[in-house]
């Protein structure tokens, strides 16, 4: 094995694209999205001839979509966050 191959193998160590901080924010964003979809579910009627006004509740019309949008915003932030900012070691 020559020096070029050895250096290539050393530099090909398992290195994640994102840092630990990015993954924490991604999980937080995913939790917001999941909670939003859970809050949006339900409210339907078993009988199609019966109208159920609970589908227009504040929880389903305002709260759940807002949580989902906040979750997507957190996901974008997690992707754009630079985990090495402030680290002087290299």
pLDDT, mean of residues 33-39: 96
> What stretches of the chain show up as alpha helix (H) in DSSP?
3-11, 20-40, 58, 64-80
State pLDDT tens for residues 55-70: 889 999 999 999 999 9
Residue 72 has pLDDT above 60, yes or no: yes
Q: Are 40 and 60 in contact (CB under 8 A)?
A: yes
Chain centroid to CA 75: how far?
A: 4
DSSP single-letter state for residue 49: T
Task: Give the end-to-end CA distance of the chain in Å, rounded to a whole number.
Answer: 27
The residue among 76, 77, 65, 7 whose CA lies nearest residue 38 is 65
Q: Which two three-digit tokens encode residue 36?
A: 């939003």
Determine the 3-state secondary structure of 64 from DSSP: helix
State pLDDT tens for residues 5-34: 666 666 666 677 888 999 999 999 999 999
């Amino acid at each position: 094995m020559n020096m070029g191959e050895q250096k290539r193998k050393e530099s090909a160590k398992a290195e994640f694209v994102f840092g630990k901080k990015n993954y924490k924010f991604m999980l937080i964003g995913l939790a917001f999205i999941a909670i939003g979809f859970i809050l949006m579910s339900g409210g339907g009627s078993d009988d199609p001839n019966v109208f159920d006004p609970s589908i227009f509740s504040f929880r389903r019309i305002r709260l759940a979509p807002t949580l989902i949008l906040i979750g997507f915003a957190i996901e974008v932030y997690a992707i754009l966050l630079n985990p090495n900012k402030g680290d002087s070691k290299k």
